[in-house]
Amino acid sequence: MLIKITADQLPGEAQEAKITRIYPQVGEEIQAGESLVDMEANKQRMTLSSPAAGIVEELYVDTGQIIKKGQLLLTVQGEKMEVQTTSQTGFNYFGSMLKTEKEKTTLQTDLCIIGAGPGGYVAAIRAAQMGSRVILIEKDELGGTCLNWGCIPTKCLVRSAEVYKTLQSAADYGCSAEKINFSMPAVMARKDAVVKQLRQGIEILLHANKIQVLKGSARLLDARTVQVQGQQQERSIKADHLIIATGSRIVDPRIPGIQLKQVINSDMALQMTSLPRKMVIVGGGVIGMEFAFIYAGFGVEVSVVEYAEEILMNCDQDICREIHRIAEQKGIKIYSEARVDAILSTEGQECIVVFNQAEESKFLAADRVLMAVGRQPVTEGLGLEEIGVQLNEDRRGIQVNERMQTSIPNIYAIGDVTNQVLLAHVASAQGIVAVENIMGQERSMNYHAIPSTIFTDPEIGIVGLSEAMAVEQGYEIAVGTFPIEANGKALCQGESQGFIKIISEKRSGRILGAAIIGSHASDLIAELTLAVNKQLNTQDIIDTIHAHPTTAEIIHEAALAARGQPLHFIPR
């Protein structure tokens, strides 16, 4: 039978709400109780779950659209079941009205972890490997932001854009391709399939390690008690140790007009099945620039408005200049040292971004405006201050020591919620450090060799001290650089843009840091991360034979260049 699913309930009893996420695609099979759409209104969020099992026949709404109460959202060909509507915290508000009292249980465990992102689930597995009984709490999806709305989904889009670019340039490789095109719904479907496969992999790992997973929203009642609100149960967990791994959320800047339907965030961008003709991205950091290259790769007219002096300000100036040059070469317009003042609606489908640059008001028309101004730790609603868990001085994130302990000795915090380094691999490393300390092994978190990768086109990889930082810290340095265009493998691949540089201490040759902008930079930076971590010197790299032809040879050449002896390049 054909089942029409409408928005009969909206967040906060509102009459209108914005669609922030759509889960299923047309033609996808769904089960009763699966999430259909996320909605937001009156600063409250809600997830509508499916009242039916069957096949999605038609979607009548899009991400970012403003809907009214009772509006048709989608149709499903299948069998109708009981309706369940939940908030993002996972608590079934409307379902709870049908019950006189929730089932209440108390559980005992060695370790309770709040949050199943790359910090939380890795910590859970490591603890289980060391013999601990573990309960893992997650209010949304396993894998956290990284797997569901960040690292993995965006890299899927990066790959699709890369394949499209390769098809367009087929003639450069002696090949031919006709009627080149792409389907954004198919691109998103592939992204969803990859995310689903990896999420299922996490489920298998947790099950294999006998980790109990609870779905719900957690709150600390005291140093050893966690209350979990689920759809059908309210549970209390008594644990010897706790790890808080609640991650971060998108920052909504205070810009007039941010509530317009044309304005989206990175979560919503990952659900768009149709592309705008013109997009303005507010923020030229990692998130903003990755999306800029993705959309430009699909043919969207992209403009980036950045408040700082330059995009990707955490990179050295030569890296910033190179990626800026390449971005503009690809048609991305960049407005740096610019402040967005407002977003105005028009009579049509477009909007106008009003910004100030060099004391002059400027205007950009766009079909979509993507807000990419950063993230902030999720600490609200956890009951932290009530039980005495101290926050950082700026009140952003939980204060921890090098062992990842909070101000309460048996409570630890890891990942973005600490506001230390907001990277998935850092969260995982912090999780392992926390668990091993809990289990009696003395471990300290070391941040001096943390690699960062940026998936622009070409990629960027960074580790250790930048050139500017090394000089500021008083080092006398030698810098070895080598252009990607001088590498044989890169030329074979048709990827000749960018360069590598290794920053070393001049007297000892010890490698202090490195940066790569070019093909496969995100993979190549691993060797230099090992070098920084183990305090290797440039001679150690020189003495290591690198296979030919590979892009990894640029590391060998840069180490030689740091000593003034490059073999395949004449220094300028």
Amino acid at 238: K
What letter would DSSP give residue 405? B
CATH value at residue 120: 3.50.50.60
pLDDT exceeds cutoff 50 at 91? no
Residues 47-61, mean pLDDT to the nearest whole number: 87
Residue 314 three-state SS:
coil
What tokens does 376 get?
């902030």
pLDDT exceeds cutoff 60 at 347? yes
**Is residue 494 within 8 Å of residue 554, measured between CB atoms?**
no
- On whether residue 570 sits in a domain, the answer given is no
Res 39: pLDDT? 87
Do 160 and 274 reside in the same domain of the chain?
no
Do 120 and 244 reside in the same domain of the chain?
yes
- On whether residue 567 sits in a domain, the answer given is no
Residue 529 three-state SS:
helix
- On whether residue 572 sits in a domain, the answer given is no
**Is residue 260 within 8 Å of residue 343, measured between CB atoms?**
yes
Cross-strand partners of 212: 135
Do 232 and 340 reside in the same domain of the chain?
no
- Mention every residue, 6+ apart, whose C-beta is less than 8 A from residue 549: 487, 488, 489, 492
Q: At what angle do helices 184-208 and 120-129 cross, to 10 degrees?
A: 30
377: number of Cβ within 10 Å: 24
DSSP result, 195-258: HHHHHHHHHHHHHHTT-EEEESEEEEEETTEEEEE-SSEEEEEEEEEEEE---EEE-----TTT
Instruction: Give how many domains the chain has, as a whole number.
Output: 4
pLDDT exceeds cutoff 60 at 181? yes
Residue 116 lies in domain: 102-249+375-447
Do 142 and 156 reside in the same domain of the chain?
yes
Res 308: pLDDT? 95
Res 64: pLDDT? 81
Q: Determine the Cα–Cα distance for residues 278 and 383; give it in Å rounded to an integer.
A: 43
Do 432 and 461 reside in the same domain of the chain?
no
- On whether residue 391 sits in a domain, the answer given is yes
Nearest to 538 by CA among 570, 484, 490, 500: 500
Do 84 and 118 reside in the same domain of the chain?
no
Instruction: For residue 548, indicate whether it is catalytic.
Output: yes
Confidence of residue 43 (pLDDT cuts 50, 70, 90): low
Confidence of residue 88 (pLDDT cuts 50, 70, 90): very low
Do 440 and 457 reside in the same domain of the chain?
no
Note the pLDDT tens digit of each residue in 382-421.
Answer: 999 999 999 999 889 999 999 999 999 999 999 999 999 9
How far is Cα of residue 206 from the mean position of the Cα atoms in its chain?
22
- On whether residue 258 sits in a domain, the answer given is no
Note the pLDDT tens digit of each residue in 265-279.
Answer: 999 999 999 999 999
Q: Phi/psi of residue 96, each to 5°?
A: -70, -25
Do 227 and 270 reside in the same domain of the chain?
no
* pLDDT above 70 coverage of the chain, percent: 95
The active-site residue, picked from 425, 548, 556, 568, is: 548
Do 115 and 209 reside in the same domain of the chain?
yes
Residues 205-230, mean pLDDT to the nearest whole number: 95
- From 337, 358, 373, give the residue that closes a domain: 373
- From 358, 373, 388, give the residue that closes a domain: 373
Do 124 and 204 reside in the same domain of the chain?
yes
Do 116 and 244 reside in the same domain of the chain?
yes
Q: Alpha helix (H) ranges present in 20-118?
A: 93-96
Do 134 and 215 reside in the same domain of the chain?
yes
Average of per-residue pLDDT values in the chain: 92
Q: Determine the Cα–Cα distance for residues 95 and 329; give it in Å rounded to an integer.
A: 54
Q: Phi/psi of residue 551, each to 5°?
A: -70, -20
Res 103: pLDDT? 58
Residue 396 three-state SS:
coil
CATH value at residue 468: 3.30.390.30
Res 97: pLDDT? 33
Residue 39 three-state SS:
strand
- From 45, 71, 95, give the residue that closes a domain: 95
- The residue behind tokens 């009627």 is 179
Confidence of residue 81 (pLDDT cuts 50, 70, 90): low
- On whether residue 548 sits in a domain, the answer given is yes
- On whether residue 255 sits in a domain, the answer given is no
pLDDT exceeds cutoff 70 at 90? no
- On whether residue 256 sits in a domain, the answer given is no
What tokens does 566 get?
């490059």
Q: Determine the Cα–Cα distance for residues 268 and 29; give it in Å rounded to an integer.
A: 22
pLDDT exceeds cutoff 60 at 89? no
- The residue behind tokens 């070409």 is 458
Residues 132-153, mean pLDDT to the nearest whole number: 96
